[in-house]
Chain A
Amino acid sequence: MSTKCLLWWIKMDLLNYKLHELTSLIRKKALSVKELCQFYMDRIEKYNSELNAVLTINPDILQTAENIDKNLNQYKDLPLLGIPILLKDVFCTKGIRTTAGSKILENFISPYSAEVVRRLEKAGAVILGKCNQDEFAMGNSNKNSAFGPVYNPWNKKYVPGGSSGGSAAAVAAGLCAASMGTDTGGSVRQPASFCNLVGVKPTYGRVSRYGMIAYASSLDQAGPMTMCVEDSALILESISGKDEKDSTSSIKEVPKWLHNCQSQNIKNMKIGFLNKEEANTSCSPEVVQSLEQVKTLLQSKGALVEDVSVPIMNMSVPVYYLISTSEASSNLARYDGVRYGYRSDFQNKKPDHLEEFYSQTRKEGFGSEVKRRIIMGTYCLSSGYYDEYYNKASQIRRIIRDHFVKIFSKYSLLIAPVSLSTAFSLEENPAGTLESYLIDSFTVSANLAGLPALSVPACFSSANQLPIGVQLIASHFDEQTLFNTALLIQEELKAVGKRPSYLV
Chain B
Amino acid sequence: MDKKELIKTAHLARLKLSEKEHLEFTDQLKVIFEYFKRISSIDTKDTLPLVYPLDGVESMISLREDKVQTMKEKKAELLDLAPERLGNEYKVPPVVD
Contacts and interface: CB of A to CB of B under 8 A. Distances in A.
- Direct contact between the two chains A and B in their complex (CB within 8 A): yes
Interface of A: 108-109, 111-112, 203-205, 218-219, 244, 246-252, 312, 314-315, 318-319, 321-322, 329, 333, 336-343, 350-360, 362-363, 366, 368, 371-372, 374-376, 378-379, 382, 388-389, 391-399, 401, 405, 432-434, 437, 447-450, 476
Interface in B50-74: 50-54, 57-58, 60, 62, 64, 73
A111 B81 CA distance: 9
A219 B93 CA distance: 36
A187 to B, nearest CB: 16
**6 A-B pairs with the lowest CB-CB distances in the bound complex, closest first:** A450-B53, A394-B49, A398-B50, A247-B62, A395-B44, A363-B16
Interface of B: 1, 5-6, 9-18, 21, 24-25, 28-29, 31-32, 35-36, 38-40, 42, 44, 47-54, 57-58, 60, 62, 64, 73, 77-78, 81-84, 90, 92-96
Contact of B13 (A112, A342, A374): A374
Nearest to A353: B96
A342 B84 CA distance: 11
Given A112-B73, A354-B92, A363-B18, 16 more contacts: A249-B62, A250-B58, A250-B60, A322-B39, A333-B14, A343-B83, A354-B93, A375-B10, A394-B49, A395-B49, A397-B53, A398-B49, A398-B50, A399-B42, A434-B35, A437-B32
Contacts of A251: 60
Contacts of B58: 205, 250, 252, 476
A319 B39 contact: yes
A340 B82 contact: yes
Nearest to B63: A247
Looking at chain B's contact residues, is the secondary structure mostly helix, strand, loop, or mixed? loop
B79 to A, nearest CB: 9
A308 B24 CA distance: 40
Nearest to B83: A343
A398 B14 contact: no
- Among B1, B44, B54, B84, max chain A CB count under 10 A is at B54
B50 A362 contact: no
Given A111-B73, A396-B39, A448 B53 contact: yes
A388 B41 CA distance: 11
17 contacts: A108-B81, A244-B64, A250-B58, A322-B39, A338-B83, A339-B90, A342-B83, A353-B94, A354-B94, A355-B14, A359-B14, A363-B16, A371-B21, A379-B29, A395-B47, A399-B44, A476-B54
B41 to A, nearest CB: 9
Contact of B50 (A249, A329, A395): A395
Given A111-B78, A248-B52, A376-B29, A354 B16 contact: no
Contacts of A312: 42
B92 A357 contact: yes
Given A318-B39, A392-B44, A205 B54 contact: yes
B52 A218 contact: yes
B48 A398 contact: yes
A375 B9 contact: yes
A359 B16 contact: yes
B9 to A, nearest CB: 5
A371 B92 contact: no
A398 B17 CA distance: 35
Given A362-B14, A396-B39, A401 B93 contact: no
Contacts of B62: 244, 246-249
Contacts of A366: 15
Contacts of B84: 343
A300 to B, nearest CB: 34
A205 B57 CA distance: 12
B60 to A, nearest CB: 6
Contacts of B13: 329, 333, 362, 374-375, 378
A338 B84 CA distance: 8
B71 to A, nearest CB: 8
A25 B88 CA distance: 51
Given A248-B52, A363-B15, A354 B96 contact: yes
- Among A321, A378, A391, max chain B CB count under 10 A is at A378
A476 B57 contact: yes
A315 B39 contact: yes
Contacts of A329: 13
B47 A399 contact: yes
A352 B96 CA distance: 8
B28 A433 contact: yes
B44 A322 contact: no
Given A362-B16, A375-B6, A375-B10, A397 B50 contact: yes
A350 B90 CA distance: 16
Nearest to B18: A363
Contacts of B57: 405, 450, 476
Contact of A363 (B17, B40, B92): B17
A236 B95 CA distance: 47
